[in-house]
Structure 1
Amino acid sequence: MTGARRWTRRPEGSNWGEFGPDDQIGRLNLLGPDAVKRGLAEVREGRSFCLSLPLDLPGGSTLNPRRAPPRHFATARAGLSNFNHALAQHDPDLTDVICDDAVLLHTQYSTQWDSLAHAGALFDADGDGVAEPVYYNGWRAGEHVTGSDGTEACQGCGDVEGVAARRLGIETMAETCVQGRGVLIDLHAIAGRDRVAVGRDALLGAIDAQGAEIEPGDILCLHTGFADAVIAMGGQPDAQALHGAFAVLDGHDPALLNWISDSGIAALVADNYAVEQSPARAGDGPHAALPLHEHCLFKLGLPLGELWHLGPLNAHLRGQARNGFLLTAPPLRLPGAVGSPVTPVATV
């Protein structure tokens, strides 16, 4: 099925079709060889930083009751005790000691990527006067991003319809390798611990003050201090304190959304929850609860990274009067998933 058959009109301000009628990776198309070489040119010290939180943080479910911490358990091995993995239990001539494990993981609990199948919108893509649920580039809910035939249950997530992103799944993002030039902007330097909704002017002011240059194909990373506070809380997050503090992007600022479109960035990352102010300010009439998600994921095909651990990298780069680094951040190549944990690596 071609894009022309999926939609006859596209959302205002979107880039649907510009990377091809059946495109599934959106602005990640900009992570070509030139973008990778720009990232490599930022490597001067050969020092690397892990940009992932421990995946059992934030801790609990107070920040989002729909997402639970990982459940980690041993896999059963027939005839062997789970507490003694020596294969000699089965064959006295064997000296091997084996340990296997498994994990039940909410893919967007901790440091994560949102795939383009994570957030769509009600939009009249076929021009019949009725809005239908669609995702980036006109891929349809219920057809291309669907539930499973049955009900799947897991402890901690309740009975939920299984998800199958037959288009726009996180594996399409993984196949790009997500490697290029990261640019880190320190919003904590302008807001501190205050809850500040950052619009275009404040963001550009920070970019200029910190001597950064944003080029098409860059991955913009925003340090607010949120993830540092999560770590300091030691797995017992104070939801009220966290949701009432630290900088967030103002998804209701049209100038900010236009700048994201015009900047040519390939992806947008923050160390906070949701990147943007959530809940967003109320709008008039039907509107998106998360307008920046709608603009980035639905209109532009621009992936969002959340809850990245940017504090140590930020401190190092600020001390060096630098902003750029090589970023390598592929998600899990898990077909059909709409999000993924990620262990990003910054090399400076």
Structure 2
Amino acid sequence: MTQDVQPPSVADLTRDAPKNWGKWGPDDEVGSLNYLGPTEVLRGVAAVRQGRTFTLQVQIGAPGGDPIWPGRAQCTHVNLLDKGDYACGKGVEVPGHAEAADDMLIMYLQGSTQYDALGHVWCEDQLWNGYDAKTTARRMTKASVLPIAERGVVGRAVLIDIARHRGKRVLDRGETFDHTDLLAAAAVQGVDIEKRDILIIRTGWIGAFYEMGAAEFYRDFREPGLTYSRSLAQWFAEMEIPNLVTDTMANETTVDPVSGVMLPLHIALMRNLGVAFTEIAQLDALADDCAADGQYTFLYAAAPLKVVGGTGAPVNPIVVK
């Protein structure tokens, strides 16, 4: 898109893309996670070969700061009680004279590795499944993160290391790929992306935050990632992908380089198909291990915090190889 040409609305861009509205009834709030029934859980269990575990959440309150979407504030972590209180005679005495520490964390619910609520982003005043956008007022009463948290997410996952496939430690700013690139990378890895797999994609982007530092990371901010096309949305629909997990902040490139639209996959995949988005995952250690032993499928289990009416919530996903 040239700067003198206005991008289309995201609604117009995705108008002919597939939708799953009504597929699981008029009251559904978990979308494509409905694909993860007992059979899919057992597929995940069957993928376990070694009994080795990895956690995918970034640290919260790291000394050098945390990777968060531009414009959001870093978390505030405050000690409310520690040894200093007792040294000053301000600690509460209890029978037996035990002492304790206590603290408080103030943060954006999407300020760490997290699940988006299906109603987090919308267009034309309608959320996932056609719910009225007015239901987001003050507190989300439809398609919040709570139904996802109450349900939990368990199934077979496949890691596609697109950065390694392209011979890079980390993809370049704004570098894009689509489902055909994912399939090509999977073939090189010797793995199949199967129907109803939880799809995990590594770009190296979040890991780069800790290497280059915040100033360089946010300079000319343009994330690498998936880019929109109707064929990509159709592929997600036909593959019945329940959950997209990436080591980026938005699970897609920041601005679509063809249309000029910002974050169209939040509409095409999350709002229209009900695909659950897990963002800001730390995938480098898992990817290195998969490259070493050739096992790119495993059991994935995750449950975000049960925040009533939340637009998203932190999560620490676990994979078992």
TM norm structure 2: 0.85
Provide the rounded CA distance (Å) in 1 between the counterparts of 2:94 and 2:100.
14
* Kept after mapping to 2: 8 A contact 1:87/1:95: no
* Kept after mapping to 2: 8 A contact 1:39/1:327: yes
Q: Report the CA distance between 1:98 and its aligned residue.
A: 2.2
The reply to whether residue 55 of structure 1 matches residue 60 of structure 2 is yes
The reply to whether residue 138 of structure 1 matches residue 137 of structure 2 is no
The reply to whether residue 248 of structure 1 matches residue 225 of structure 2 is yes
User: How many pairs align?
Assistant: 303
* Kept after mapping to 1: 8 A contact 2:131/2:142: yes
- Percent identical pairs in the alignment equals 32
Q: In structure 2, the residue corresponding to 1:340 is in which secondary structure? A: strand
> Structure 2 residue aligned with 1:274, among 250, 260, 276?
250
Change (3 A) 1:238 1:58: farther
Change (3 A) 1:12 1:227: closer
Kindly provide the CA deviation profile for residues 267-325 of structure 1, in whole angstroms up to 9, marking residues without a partner as x.
Answer: 101101211111223638xxx52111101111011111111011111111122212101
Q: Which amino acid aligns with 2:279?
A: E
Query: Which structure has the highest helix share of the two?
Result: 2
* Kept after mapping to 1: 8 A contact 2:17/2:234: no
Q: Report the CA distance between 1:74 and its aligned residue.
A: 2.9
Q: Report the CA distance between 1:115 and its aligned residue.
A: 1.2
User: Counterpart in 1 of 2:318?
Assistant: 345
> Structure 2 residue aligned with 1:187, among 149, 156, 162?
162
Q: Which amino acid aligns with 2:152?
A: C
Q: How does 1:159-178 map to 2 (within 5 A)?
A: 164-178=139-153
Q: Which amino acid aligns with 1:342?
A: V
Q: Report the CA distance between 1:86 and its aligned residue.
A: 10
CA RMSD of aligned residues (A): 2.7
> Structure 1 residue aligned with 2:114, among 106, 112, 115?
112
> Structure 1 residue aligned with 2:303, among 314, 321, 330?
330
Change (3 A) 1:84 1:302: same
> Structure 1 residue aligned with 2:182, among 198, 203, 224?
203
Q: How does 1:1-348 map to 2 (within 5 A)?
A: 12-56=17-61, 64-75=69-80, 83-84=85-86, 90-91=92-93, 93-122=95-124, 133-142=125-134, 144-147=135-138, 164-191=139-166, 192=168, 193-195=171-173, 196-233=175-212, 238-240=217-219, 243=221, 247-251=224-228, 253-281=229-257, 283=259, 288-348=261-321
Provide the rounded CA distance (Å) in 1 between the counterparts of 2:123 and 2:71.
20
Change (3 A) 1:136 1:101: same
Q: In structure 2, the residue corresponding to 1:309 is in which secondary structure? A: coil
Kindly provide the CA deviation profile for residues 200-226 of structure 1, in whole angstroms up to 9, marking residues without a partner as x.
Answer: 322221122222222332210001111
- Which segment drifts farther, 229-238 or 256-265? 229-238
Q: In structure 1, the residue corresponding to 2:201 is in which secondary structure? A: strand
Provide the rounded CA distance (Å) in 1 between the counterparts of 2:50 and 2:67.
40
Q: Report the CA distance between 1:57 and its aligned residue.
A: 5.8
Q: Which amino acid aligns with 1:42?
A: A
* Kept after mapping to 1: 8 A contact 2:208/2:217: no
* Kept after mapping to 2: 8 A contact 1:120/1:294: yes
Kindly provide the CA deviation profile for residues 78-100 of structure 1, in whole angstroms up to 9, marking residues without a partner as x.
Answer: xx996328999554754121222
Unaligned ranges ≥5, structure 1: 1-9, 123-132, 148-163
Q: Which amino acid aligns with 2:183?
A: L
Provide the rounded CA distance (Å) in 1 between the counterparts of 2:28 and 2:16.
16
TM norm structure 1: 0.79
Change (3 A) 1:208 1:99: same
Q: In structure 2, the residue corresponding to 1:293 is in which secondary structure? A: helix
* Kept after mapping to 1: 8 A contact 2:18/2:233: no
Provide the rounded CA distance (Å) in 2 between the counterparts of 1:215 and 1:86.
61
